[in-house]
Structure 1
Amino acid sequence: MSIKHRKKRNFHTPVLSLADQARKNGQHAGYDAGKEEGYLRGRANYIVNCAQEPLPFRQIHVLYVSSGKGFPYSPLDEAIMATLQGMVAQVTLTDPRQPVSEIALQNRPDLVLVLDGMDIPLEHIDAIRQAGIPTAIWLTDDPYYTDMTMERVHHFDHIFTLELNCVELYRQSGCASVHYLPFAAFTNHYFPITTPSPLHRDVSFIGSAYWNRVYFFNPIMAQIMSHNTVFNGIWWDRLPGYEAYGEKIEHGRWMSPQETNDVYNGTKIVINLHRSHEDDSVNNNHLKIPPASPNPRTFEISASATLQLTDARDDLARFYKPGVEIETYSSPQELLDKVEYYLTHEKERREIALRGLERTLKEHTYGRRINEMLTIIFP
């Protein structure tokens, strides 16, 4: 049969039902999301495994006095103790409930390091100093409780504060050795996981509902919650109409570092909003010293390789480059705008998160901070 006499055939593309088309679109979307997450985790794993500059090991003995306060201070104690044990020849552990001065005089450490120091009897510190043993305190909550810290810092040889604006305060009060030393990321607690996260959220916020946070979020809560969003922390029943959000607000539960890291890893955007220095309902800061320094969560979120949206503090750029290694906002509307933007710009979101991870591992670990401390004390 000639070509021109062949019977014409109609080849029609099958018409998919709406359900089949939706299923197909979902498969493509799931494939794309899995590909993006796989790329992020692969890159993050490479950054984690890159060799970091080694830290010096010192032949010294440190007596570490924990905060004695339990959770949420205990993860800080764990981070410092574990880091010290890998950096010095001997670490002796104790807490404010023990006879610290007797322990120090029996063991004769090269340094007594106290975290927080609000519960330790000051006569113990005085006796240790009189015996010629150097003492140091690492303050945990500046500037929010400076009414109390001002009464204690004079009993120590070296003062380390996580708040830049408190350095001059303590120096002017007569303390000779005062140093700015923020907390950091403990990479045993906060790190990018290598397998797909069991959690899948667009936005997360973890933190107590201080009044400034309630006032900030309340006008935009509906828009934030329109995404796959979860808030966690105590006091969120202060939020007007919080019951309407159901399981989107996990109210009244402290999260362990492991649970927190799981949330960070399973969230596209983690919001950080610092507490206010003017909230007299929880603060003891009658001088109203304003904070300039980032909180510990700043480093912990970035260590988990997720995009952090934080309110800008004056000293933030010392640690991360805004728009490159971290993202900032200065108003509720700007927060909403950037949430919308980064939820639809995966590549930009991912690259900022990875650069933040890399900066954290190079500069903002407890190993780096404690090495800086020991270098000051033992030059």
Structure 2
Amino acid sequence: MITNGMNDSPHFPAGGEVLTSGQRGREDGLRDGFNEGYLRGRANVIVQAARPQLPFRQVRVLYVGSGKGFPYSPIDEAVIATLRQMTAETIVCEPGVPLVELATSTRPDLVLVLDGMEQPVEQMDQLRASGIRTAVWMTDDPYYTDITFPMAPHYDYVFTLERNCVDQYRATGCANVYYLPFAAFPDHYRPTLTRSPLRGNVGFIGSAYWNRVHFLQPIMGQLMDKGLNMNGIWWDRLPEYPAYADRIELGKWMGPTETAEVYSGTKIMINLHRSPFEETVNKNMAAINAVSPNPRTFEISACATLQLIDVREDLASFYTPGVEIETFATAEELLQKVDFYLTHEKERQEIALRALERTYRDHTYSNRIDEMLRIIFG
């Protein structure tokens, strides 16, 4: 919510005389240092705050990773580390191992599969027949539902990060389907508590899906003038790419640590969702619309950075727009809010800090794994 707030103060000392450019630079530097110190200090208090202890369960989990490598591997790392903190034992394997034999020898209380596209469903049928509970956590709904819908009925429990897929999975015969988005893993995503070495005004990290290209192209020059830096694959699709090549890091997959440093050092991060209807990259013949926020929503918020995100229907279930996050519906609104928050430091920082606090309280992998285990084990 844009309100009247604190603009940059005029460059006049107490006596009223106009400052020289050198004096203005010194004042700007002092003010910037103060603002930066305030943000980092408040963020440190939030990150270090004590939180209620989530339950530890005396259960054994056999976790089957995605088998897809990067960029899925950081999700695997987050889930494995969290399970090991919250359960008596977590055994880890990849798709392709003799899973039935491994489960027979270890007798887990649950076999949990991430993504499941690389995991033979016949093995899951055998595990269920032997009395071992199975669950799958879908990573890409609704973008590959042509694959996941036939796969889902082979599991006892299905967890999806897209609310619109819940009823669709139930229609395929799945009895236990739950909406469980991903989250932020604090070991990966947290604010830098000193000034980040990677600093900027406006940032975007993500692949150049066509809906993003078409949305951003008309305003790209204006965003670049405001200090936009980008990272992701396919941005050479942008007709004006050669003019901005020094501001677009092309073709590099950034790991979570580097990504978090960019988030933390950038005043405003843009989050523009991909389209569920782009046939060249999606397998979504049912044309299921996406209404849930993407994982990046939680990861940016975990870094004490103001996030401008395109409106999705279920976003308000996680963050209060105008209070903990900011939204846009049009390119013009995006530009307006970028301009506003680059000149209203206090408002920008307060929203970013509220997002950080909400994320660390409600939207970590500990929160999600606790919910999953409660659903399965009570």
TM-score, normalised by the number of residues in structure 2: 0.94
> CA contact under 8 A between 2:204 and 2:229: conserved in structure 1?
yes
Deviation at 1:21, TM superposition (A): 2.5
- Percent identity, aligned pairs only, is 61
Distance 1:100 1:254 in 2: 31
Secondary structure of 2:321's counterpart equals coil
Secondary structure of 1:90's counterpart equals strand
> CA contact under 8 A between 2:201 and 2:227: conserved in structure 1?
yes
1:6 is matched with none
2:192 is matched with 193
Distance 2:49 2:216 in 1: 39
Distance 1:180 1:214 in 2: 30
Alignment of 1:79-98 (within 5 A): 79-98=78-97
> Once the two structures are superposed, what CA deviation does each residue of 1:289-334 show, in whole Å capped at 9, x if it has no partner?
0001000000000000000000010000000000000000000000
Deviation at 1:179, TM superposition (A): 0.3
Counterpart amino acid of residue 101 in structure 1:
V
Q: Could you tell which deviates more after superposition, 344-353 or 46-55?
A: 46-55
Deviation at 1:149, TM superposition (A): 0.3
> CA contact under 8 A between 2:196 and 2:264: conserved in structure 1?
yes
Distance 2:107 2:243 in 1: 59
> Once the two structures are superposed, what CA deviation does each residue of 1:67-87 show, in whole Å capped at 9, x if it has no partner?
000000000000000000000
Distance 1:137 1:350 in 2: 38
What is the alpha-carbon root mean square deviation over aligned residues?
1.0
Deviation at 1:256, TM superposition (A): 0.5
Distance 1:119 1:322 in 2: 37
Alignment of 1:172-251 (within 5 A): 172-251=171-250
Alignment of 1:39-50 (within 5 A): 39-50=38-49
Deviation at 1:125, TM superposition (A): 0.8
Alignment of 1:60-209 (within 5 A): 60-209=59-208
> CA contact under 8 A between 2:191 and 2:261: conserved in structure 1?
no
Distance 1:224 1:117 in 2: 39
1:285 is matched with 284
Unaligned runs of 5+ in 1: 1-17
Q: Could you tell which deviates more after superposition, 132-141 or 227-236?
A: 227-236
Unaligned runs of 5+ in 2: 1-17
Alignment of 1:262-281 (within 5 A): 262-281=261-280
Distance 2:227 2:275 in 1: 27
Counterpart amino acid of residue 375 in structure 1:
R
2:331 is matched with 332
Q: Could you tell which deviates more after superposition, 329-338 or 237-246?
A: 237-246
Deviation at 1:246, TM superposition (A): 2.4
Distance 1:229 1:101 in 2: 50
- Deviating above 6 A after TM superposition, structure 1's stretches of 4 or more consecutive aligned residues are none
2:5 is matched with none
Counterpart amino acid of residue 298 in structure 1:
T
> Once the two structures are superposed, what CA deviation does each residue of 1:163-196 show, in whole Å capped at 9, x if it has no partner?
0000000112211000000000000000011111
Distance 2:291 2:306 in 1: 21
2:340 equivalent to 1:341? yes
Distance 2:288 2:157 in 1: 21
Secondary structure of 2:20's counterpart equals helix
Distance 2:286 2:131 in 1: 34
2:51 equivalent to 1:52? yes
> Once the two structures are superposed, what CA deviation does each residue of 1:236-264 show, in whole Å capped at 9, x if it has no partner?
01011201012201111100101100100
> CA contact under 8 A between 2:110 and 2:132: conserved in structure 1?
yes
Aligned length: 361
2:14 is matched with none
> Once the two structures are superposed, what CA deviation does each residue of 1:112-146 show, in whole Å capped at 9, x if it has no partner?
00000000111111111111000000000000000
Distance 1:254 1:91 in 2: 29
Counterpart amino acid of residue 34 in structure 1:
G
Secondary structure of 1:305's counterpart equals coil
> CA contact under 8 A between 2:135 and 2:156: conserved in structure 1?
yes
Secondary structure of 1:179's counterpart equals strand
2:372 equivalent to 1:373? yes
> Once the two structures are superposed, what CA deviation does each residue of 1:330-353 show, in whole Å capped at 9, x if it has no partner?
000000000000000000000000
2:4 is matched with none
Counterpart amino acid of residue 243 in structure 1:
P
Distance 1:48 1:95 in 2: 33
> CA contact under 8 A between 2:184 and 2:359: conserved in structure 1?
yes
1:10 is matched with none
Q: Could you tell which deviates more after superposition, 97-106 or 114-123?
A: 97-106
> CA contact under 8 A between 2:150 and 2:172: conserved in structure 1?
no
2:308 is matched with 309
Q: Could you tell which deviates more after superposition, 23-32 or 338-347?
A: 23-32
Counterpart amino acid of residue 107 in structure 2:
R
Counterpart amino acid of residue 234 in structure 2:
W
